[in-house]
Structure 1
Amino acid sequence: MRPFLACLALLPLLFTFTWALNAGEELKVRTTLSRFAIFVDDDDFDHLDQIFTPDVYADYAGSINKGLPAFEAFLRRGLGGIVSQHAVSTTVIEDLGDSLNSTAYVTAGFLGPGKNSTTWVGSAVTLYGKYHDTWTRVGKDWRIKQRIFEQFSVKLKLFNQNGGAIELVDFSVPLMQCLWLAISSPKKKDSSLMGNATSVEESMT
């Protein structure tokens, strides 16, 4: 009777170990997060299906995209042709059995100019935030079915050919507009944003 009771007492531990993410599975998740960073920095948007499910829901600081085609188009529009470096660091993974939740810090740097601009050489945006991802198993691998990007802070530096410089922290415009302002062709810049930037530049001189 006592051995039987001892076995019953061990059952909770058995289930705990069954649900715990083993080192190999955790490595897959971390590698997939890193692969996303490399893909977008290399303008390799054709392989995002190795990261996300076809019906992925992505909320990037309020910019919502449903489905991988829409999310891919969003990333191409915002990051295509931009020199960038995404660094995914501190990561916590929660195993839920058939799904996972992960939270990861990300620091991303974006450098100007864009392909069609020489005006803002040396311009840079540094972005700080978190990826909140929900994962599902696809075959032997894991894919992200929901991503919520939480933006902490944006640091913007602009340098123009006339020697003017602007540095703004927590610039209060949407993420993609911020990148557009810093890096895209001057002819495409939003006039209201440039007006804001000019007034800051004048106040610094």
Structure 2
Amino acid sequence: MLSLEEISDRLEIQQLLIDYSTAIDGKRFDDLDAVFTPDAYIDYRVSGGVDGRFPEVKAWLKEVLPNFPAYYHMLGNVDVRIGADGNTATSRAICFNPMVMGGDAGQIYFVGIWYVDEFVRTEAGWRMSKRVEEKAFDKLV
């Protein structure tokens, strides 16, 4: 049986995943400061992006994502595991991310990925310390 603390931790981490998607989809990139640790490692290479530490990746997101007229993130099958020490956690979640391409062609880039994440408990609450995308599929239509 899960303890109330573990239930609370899992819900807080799930909300962090939603906060990430909401920040990206709303182009409110500074909101990501409350999602990631300052030194978090992020790897978006499987979907054509970059990898690196949070400040550099955040700057890249601010530059690149406004080029897409529309996109969203839909998450599912969120599997959160709290570490034995109670101060670390991992998760794996499905993300479906259609992105409208610019121009007259009206093409949509369908991206299906797994987010594989690591978390640490900080004084400000849970924060993501690592995010790596694993490719499930992508298709330009």
TM-score relative to the length of structure 2: 0.86
Looking at structure 1, the residues matched to 81 and 6 of structure 2 have their Cα atoms a distance apart, in angstroms, of 12
Residue of structure 1 in register with 2:31 after alignment: 47
Q: Does 1:85 align with 2:72?
A: yes
Q: Secondary structure at the match of 1:43?
A: coil
Q: Which residue identity does 2:40 align to in structure 1?
A: V
- Select which of 42, 56, 71 maps to 1:70: 56
Instruction: Render the CA deviation track for 1:1-33: whole Å, top value 9, x for unaligned.
Output: xxxxxxxxxxxxxxx967x85222211111110
For residue 35 of structure 1, report the CA deviation from its aligned partner. 1.3
Looking at structure 2, the residues matched to 80 and 91 of structure 1 have their Cα atoms a distance apart, in angstroms, of 27
Residue of structure 2 in register with 1:99 after alignment: 88
Asked if the contact 1:61–1:151 (Cα under 8 Å) also holds between the matched residues in 2, the reply is no
Looking at structure 1, the residues matched to 94 and 5 of structure 2 have their Cα atoms a distance apart, in angstroms, of 20
In the alignment, structure 2 segments of 5+ residues that lack a partner are: none
Note the aligned Cα RMSD (angstroms).
Answer: 1.9
Looking at structure 2, the residues matched to 146 and 135 of structure 1 have their Cα atoms a distance apart, in angstroms, of 7
Higher relative contact order (CA 8 A, sep 6+): 2
**Identity of paired residues, percent?**
24
Residue of structure 1 in register with 2:130 after alignment: 146
1:1-205 equivalences under 5 Å are 22-61=6-45, 63-66=50-53, 68-82=54-68, 83-96=70-83, 97-113=86-102, 117=103, 119-120=104-105, 122-139=106-123, 141-157=125-141
Q: Secondary structure at the match of 2:72?
A: strand
Asked if the contact 1:65–1:74 (Cα under 8 Å) also holds between the matched residues in 2, the reply is no
**CA 1:112/1:81 → structure 2, altered by over 3 Å: closer, same or farther?**
same
In the alignment, structure 1 segments of 5+ residues that lack a partner are: 1-15, 158-205
Q: Secondary structure at the match of 2:27?
A: coil
Q: Which residue identity does 2:137 align to in structure 1?
A: S
TM-score relative to the length of structure 1: 0.61
Looking at structure 2, the residues matched to 33 and 133 of structure 1 have their Cα atoms a distance apart, in angstroms, of 9
Q: Which is greater in Rg?
A: 1
Higher fraction of strand: 2
Higher fraction of helix: 1
What is the aligned residue count?
A: 135
